[in-house]
Amino acid sequence: MFIDFTATLVKCDCCGKYYDAVLGVELWFRSKQEATEAVKDDGWEEIDGKLYCASCYEYNEDTDEYEVKNDRNRETVIN
Ligand SMILES: [Zn+2]
């Protein structure tokens, strides 16, 4: 038989990369909460409700906050 189910993938809000901890295989989770906790444990960060991979955010010592390094989506809109 076939059983349909709902899965959650995580995609970086900046570069569009999918969370793939294992050799390019996209990992899915059972819920947004589970996904958020898992990717945060693996170096991703949630900023203003969006998720960013380790390449796309940096820690700002002056403000003591994480900031998006380079929002490529925003640049695309401007250009
Ligand atoms: Zn990214």
C-alpha–C-alpha distance, residues 20 and 11, integer Å: 9
Give distance in angstroms: CA of 7 to centre of ligand 1.
21
pLDDT confidence of residue 78: 45
Give distance in angstroms: CA of 72 to centre of ligand 1.
9
Counting runs of H as helices and runs of E as strands, what totals does the chain give? 2, 6
Q: What is the pTM of this model?
A: 0.75
Give distance in angstroms: CA of 47 to centre of ligand 1.
12
Give the model confidence (pLDDT) of 32-52 as tens digits: 999 999 999 999 999 999 999
In the predicted structure, residue 24 carries a pLDDT above the cut 90: no
Encoding tokens for residue 39? Answer: 């990717």
Domain ranges of the chain: 8-78
The DSSP letter of residue 22 is: B
Encoding tokens for residue 57? Answer: 């955010």
Amino acid 26 reads: E
Give distance in angstroms: CA of 4 to centre of ligand 1.
30
